[in-house]
Structure 1
């Protein structure tokens, strides 16, 4: 009997494996943490203001006597969900428009490139602020503004990769053999674009989370009492002497989340 050789799948780089593990731990805390220790992120008890950890609040309390544990779990669901929604929208738009620009060329490509360059000329946070001025303090406003900023990077990457792939001999051979666009997209374009999209998506998610936190820190993001990482920092900053660990809680959570995303995007063996 002739044996069929079996090839193990290519391992992920160690950095990406660590990043995925860190993100899995953060996601597990955000989803299952409130189940392990039931509580309300909005409930106040001024008698517990800035007090230390206890069974019902393992991370202690903030200045209004709200459980930092439950507010942090809520914040770690809110910011990543908004960021992932924005990245998914921007990635889909960039993938479609980048492929269209590279495939059609001519005035279609010139028009899309001019539009992308015009958006690139403006600071990203300014565009988000303009959208938030129309839809202030809402998750929808963040999603729309971040999508408007992030699609340009996906568009540029897709356009560059698609143009190079479409000019390759393999694609020319597929065309001569009569294969249509669905086959070319599946067989030639997507394998080249997918790794770039993964890296861009991880960096884009980190950028979106930093943008949400930065706007929250300057009090133009989500509105109180919504638990959000940047808003939690700015609320606790005046009390850093009395309760430094309360302030460090959202800081450490934000750093851990961004650290995991950065490793996932660019980890090497």
Structure 2
């Protein structure tokens, strides 16, 4: 059984739980019932309740949906920016190539946390700040891989022949360059997705991410940490959920290079 298959299986379970639970449960992730505070898992509530009597299953599913949707939108944005700028730099070369490489190096020099915090001051919602801040930093690796791969292929006989026949850059990219580029980027896309999930959880853990009562994996860890003696099972749930998601994406990324 390959690592990629195991990763896909774990990710499928995570996705089914995150997006399927609202169809089978009516529990509100923010509804409080202090009489149920820290009630352990039971037949009626398989994941139990947190310190405010909120359904842990509903909160975990909502937190996963938030992280996965932000990660998906961020990945689409970073992939578009990185591939477009990388292709432009390698195709044009010269001063434009040097300018884009210098710009990418400048972005890497800035702390990602600082960019996310600045985006949070400008944009009206924290999810938008996550998307803008993380997209502004994570495109660089995709840019570098795209630039290096296309530079190696740009002088290939098939590309030269297409140029001489008068085909445009878009046709050449779609027909000759993208088939060589896509396998290189698959692992990077999975790792970028994992980096966004981990970044959102890390920012929530240091209390600069999503604000309560919105469910978020890192924020849930912070909220439940004072109760680890009374209800260790509650604290372990967001930790294990985050670990399972990251493990699945890492296995998928590793499997694409086999």
TM-score normalised by the chain length of structure 1 = 0.91
Deviation (angstroms), 1:135: 3.3
1:80 matches 2:68:
yes
- The Cα of 1:208 is off from its aligned counterpart by 0.7
User: 1:187-221 CA deviation, whole Å, 9 max, x = no partner?
Assistant: 21101111122211110011011110001001110
Deviation at 1:149, TM superposition (A): 0.8
How many residue pairs get aligned? The number is 257
Question: Which whole-Å CA distance do the structure 2 matches of 1:55 and 1:40 have between them?
Answer: 18
Q: Judge conservation of contact 1:128–1:149 (CA < 8 Å) in 2.
A: no
Query: Residues 141 and 160 of structure 1: is their aligned pair in 2 closer, same or farther, counting only changes over 3 Å?
Result: same
Shift in Å at residue 177 of structure 1?
A: 3.2
Aligned-partner Cα distance in 2 for 1:105–1:56: 63
What does 1:99-178 align with in structure 2 at a 5 Å threshold? 99-135=87-123, 138-178=126-166
Out of 95-104 and 134-143, give the one that drifted further. Answer: 134-143
In 1, Cα distance between equivalents of 2:183 and 2:138? 17
1:188-199 matched pairs, under 5 angstroms = 188-199=176-187
Are 1:206 and 1:258, in contact at CA under 8 Å, matched by a contact in 2? Answer: yes
Instruction: Report whether the alignment pairs 1:233 with 2:225.
Output: no
Structure 1, unaligned runs of 5 or more = 1-12
Instruction: Answer with 122-131 or 191-200: which moved more.
Output: 122-131
5 Å matches for 1:174-185? 174-185=162-173
2:46 to 51, 58, 76: 58
Contact persistence 1:17–1:264 (CA under 8 A): yes
- For 1:91 and 1:216, locate their aligned partners in 2 and report how far apart those are by CA, in whole Å: 25
CA distance, structure 2, for counterparts of residue 85 and residue 117 of structure 1: 24
* 197-206 or 128-137, which deviates more: 128-137
RMSD: 1.5
Counterpart position of 1:6: none
CA contact (8 A) 1:94 1:153 kept: yes
* Cα separation, 1, equivalents of 2:251 and 2:194: 11
Note the C-alpha offset of 1:125: 2.3
Superposed structure 1 runs of 4+ greater than 4 Å apart:
none
Per the TM alignment, residue 91 of structure 1 is displaced from its structure 2 partner at its CA by: 0.5
Post-superposition shift, 1:77?
0.4
Say whether 1:96 aligns with 2:58.
Answer: no
Identify the residue that residue 23 of structure 1 maps to in structure 2. 11
- Per-residue displacement from partner, 1:126-157 (whole Å, max 9, x unpaired)? 22222223337611110000100111111111
Instruction: Determine which of 195, 216, 222 is the counterpart of 2:210.
Output: 222
Q: Give the Cα separation in 2 of the matches to 1:251 and 1:132.
A: 25
Deviates more, 1:164-173 or 1:153-162: 164-173
Following superposition, the deviation at residue 54 of structure 1 comes to 3.1
Whether the 8 Å CA contact 1:131–1:141 is kept in 2: the answer is yes
